[in-house]
């Protein structure tokens, strides 16, 4: 099974999700989204496939997130594209769907 993980190697949840994918023998493409962020079309498609909105994947603990409290989805998406650290991680995509793997065990839903 093919899987793509939007990954931050410094994040324990992201590392755990990657380990679960590897344990399931998935053929994993790793995208370090802080170095290579998805473009708007890709991010919007991922969110749509997962039934997620930009607010669902907004990393609220980041300082830049506070300014987005009353923002609409388009503004949140723009902010995440401009500063990818605002994206919660890890996002995992397979042919069966997309999940925000928090907790990491959620990857089982799409394997």
All domains of the chain in start order, with CATH? 2-110 (3.40.30.10)
Kindly report the pTM of this predicted structure: 0.93
Confidence of residue 5 (pLDDT cuts 50, 70, 90): very high
Q: Around Cβ 64, how many Cβ atoms within 10 Å?
A: 14
Of 81, 111, 80, which is closest to residue 97 (Cα–Cα)? Answer: 111
List pLDDT tens digits, range 32-73.
999 999 999 999 999 999 999 999 999 999 999 999 989 999
* Secondary element (H or E) of residue 97: strand 97-100
Confidence of residue 91 (pLDDT cuts 50, 70, 90): very high
**Catalytic residue selected from 5, 11, 36, 64:** 11
Told to judge if 11 belongs to the known catalytic residues of this protein, a careful annotator would answer: yes
C-alpha distance from residue 95 to each of 32, 54, 110, 111 (Å)? 20, 21, 8, 8
Neighbouring-strand partners of residue 87 = 58
Instruction: Map 12-27 to HEC letters.
Output: HHHHHHHHHHHHCCCE
Average pLDDT over residues 14-22: 97
Q: Which two tokens mark 50?
A: 């997962």
């Amino acid at each position: 099974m093919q899987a793509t993980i939007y990954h931050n190697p410094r994040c324990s949840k992201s590392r755990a999700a990657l380990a679960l994918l590897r344990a399931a023998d998935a053929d994993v493409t790793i995208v370090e989204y802080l170095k290579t962020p998805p473009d708007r079309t890709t991010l919007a498609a991922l969110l749509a496939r997962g039934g997620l909105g930009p607010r669902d994947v907004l990393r609220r603990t980041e300082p830049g997130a506070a300014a987005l409290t009353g923002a609409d989805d388009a503004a949140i998406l723009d902010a995440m594209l401009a500063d990818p650290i605002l994206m919660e991680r890890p996002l995992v995509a397979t042919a069966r769907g997309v999940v925000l793997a928090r907790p990491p065990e959620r990857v089982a839903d799409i394997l």
